[in-house]
A = this chain, B = another copy of it.
Amino acid sequence: MSIPKAEVAPPANGNSLPRHRRTYSIGELARMFEVTPRTIRFYEQEGLLAPERRGQTRIYHEKDRVRLKLTLRGKRLGFSLAEIREVIEMYDAMPDGNARQLKRLLEILADKRSNMERQLEDIRLMQRELDDVEMRAREVLERLAQP
């Protein structure tokens, strides 16, 4: 991002596994992340992705792949697509954003952050519960083994 895009052409590469692939089809991405193409198109419709188009078909670059990854991670953490989009949009608008917008972004980030903290605590508590339940289950199992 901060590195000026080099004007060097990619070295003639007969390699079968190009180090850093340029583009992906929707099907490829779908398999990579174990989602359906439908899901990916839906995310685009919701403003989370904006792939290039070659004619009709979508061409996904690294940037898009990263966005999808972040989106799915956000989802696993319980964020709605709308929330995720909000952050992504502000992030994209950052360079020329005014102070008010930036402060708003910082607010949102702080909010997400406290959310994460709470989830960390929830996870710790939940893990204890699981430990507890598992222990009891094992006890009962052992008692069943010796009549």
Which residues of B have CB within 8 Å of A144? Answer: 98-99, 102
Please tell me if the beta carbons of A94 and B129 are within 8 angstroms of each other in the complex.
no
B73–A125 CB distance below 8 A: yes
CB–CB A113/B127 < 8 A: yes
Footprint of B on A, CB under 8 Å? 70, 73-74, 76-78, 87, 91, 94-95, 97-99, 102-103, 105-106, 109, 112-113, 116, 118-120, 122-123, 125-127, 129-130, 133-134, 136-138, 140-141, 144
26 pairs of residues in contact across A and B, judged by CB atoms under 8 Å: A73-B122, A73-B126, A74-B126, A76-B78, A76-B118, A76-B119, A77-B78, A77-B119, A77-B123, A78-B78, A94-B137, A94-B140, A95-B140, A98-B144, A99-B144, A102-B144, A105-B137, A106-B134, A106-B137, A109-B134, A109-B137, A116-B127, A116-B130, A119-B123, A120-B123, A123-B123
